[in-house]
Amino acid sequence: MGERYDIAIIGTGPAGLEAAINAKIRNKNIIIFGSLDLSPKLVKAPKINNFLGFYNVTGKDLKNQFAAHISAMGIGIVRERINNVYAMGDYFALMVNEKIYEAKAIILATGIEYAKPLKGEEEFLGKGVGYCATCDAPLYKGKIVVIVGYNKESEEEANYVSELSSKTYYIPMYKGEYKLNPNVEIISRKPMEIVGDDRVTKIILAQGEIITDGIFMLRDSLSPSQLVPGLQIEEGHIKVDRNMMTNIEGCYAAGDCTGKPYQYMKAAGEGQVASLSAVTYLDKANEKK
């Protein structure tokens, strides 16, 4: 286990970057996770006229300005995808596959590009619906399992499950070659709804249905409540107060993930508030010691 950072920021859009520069100015030890493109939405914007101080710029221009700004301040982006964040009490554990980062406070600036859950998915979570096939596979020994795979990595999980289950169905949500064990049955139909009584009984497809004991939804992008277990969500957005604090102490959120309007300046402003709130939280925690 490495060092414990003061603040970990998840996301490199305007909210995350603004949070990063403010925390850096306040001399905090930070780590920021994201991509070198900073934000796919930003790069795609053809023309921006509502970002104060930058008239008639393209998204790419603005992205280059952002990149130059953080690099001038010595902020480097860690290009890793956080799978889960666990609130351990006085710190947070950020999981990247087998690796763990630790931080005293976190700022979520993940944007709002995640798939909507399937009908019935949230209702049956933990009652047959799961997000981690490798975690829960042994509980489905000798049972029927459906895997809805959104990426290539899901295939490996399907193969692992097929060694334990009595029957594994794989519903691919992408096109390509599938490297699956011969006993995995591929069903190329769109899933519509998960149904059951007190537990999952079947998944309804665009055509037909599959009777099953368990369903694993293996997506690329996680919703915030899956990313941070225990996080309170309201109408599809992370619930925050005026200080950008969530229901979890030490966990802040900023940008599109907290709600509308989805705008660069709003995101940056929230990132700044979140960052300063996190700094205040850290200073208070230090005083206690």
Distance of CA 48 to the CA centre of its chain: 27
What does the per-residue mask of binding to other proteins show for 225-244, with x meaning CB under 8 A?
----xx--------------
**Quick one: which segment of 5-13, 110-118, 129-137, 272-280 binds other proteins (CB under 8 A)?**
129-137
142 touches other proteins (CB under 8 A) = no
130 touches other proteins (CB under 8 A) = yes
Distances (CA, A) of 64 to 71, 90, 230: 10, 37, 36
Question: Cα separation of 100 and 30, whole Å?
Answer: 15
Distance of CA 210 to the CA centre of its chain: 29
**Quick one: which segment of 80-88, 112-120, 233-241, 257-265 binds other proteins (CB under 8 A)?**
80-88
139 touches other proteins (CB under 8 A) = yes
Distance of CA 273 to the CA centre of its chain: 21
86 touches other proteins (CB under 8 A) = yes
Question: Cα separation of 198 and 271, whole Å?
Answer: 42
Helix (H, G, I), strand (E, B) or coil at 85: strand
Residue placing its CB nearer to other proteins in the complex, 66 or 92: 92
On the 0-12 / 13-18 / 19+ scale of CB atoms within 10 A, 17 is: buried
Residue placing its CB nearer to other proteins in the complex, 61 or 136: 136
Q: How far is the CB of 212 from other proteins (least distance, A)?
A: 12
Footprint of other proteins on 97-126 (CB under 8 A): 125-126
193 touches other proteins (CB under 8 A) = no
128 touches other proteins (CB under 8 A) = yes
Residue placing its CB nearer to other proteins in the complex, 42 or 218: 218
Contact 249, 282 (CB under 8 A): no
Footprint of other proteins on 4-33 (CB under 8 A): none
87 touches other proteins (CB under 8 A) = yes
Contact 268, 24 (CB under 8 A): no
Binding residue for other proteins (CB under 8 A) from 25, 199, 211, 243?
Answer: 199
Residue placing its CB nearer to other proteins in the complex, 124 or 170: 124
Residue placing its CB nearer to other proteins in the complex, 39 or 223: 223
Question: Cα separation of 138 and 239, whole Å?
Answer: 35
* Locus of tokens 């005026």: 242
Q: How big is the site for other proteins, counted in residues (CB under 8 A)?
A: 24
Footprint of other proteins on 245-284 (CB under 8 A): 248-249
Residue placing its CB nearer to other proteins in the complex, 141 or 190: 141
Q: What backbone torsions phi and psi does residue 86 show, to the nearest 5 degrees?
A: -110, 125
For every residue of 111-176, DSSP letters joined together read TT--PPPPBTTTTTBTTTEES-HHHHGGGGTTSEEEEEESSTHHHHHHHHHHTTSSEEEEEESS-S
Question: Cα separation of 75 and 251, whole Å?
Answer: 21
Residue placing its CB nearer to other proteins in the complex, 102 or 185: 102
Q: How far is the CB of 85 from other proteins (least distance, A)?
A: 10
Binding site for other proteins (CB under 8 A): 84, 86-89, 93, 95, 125-128, 130, 132, 134-136, 138-139, 199, 214, 229-230, 248-249
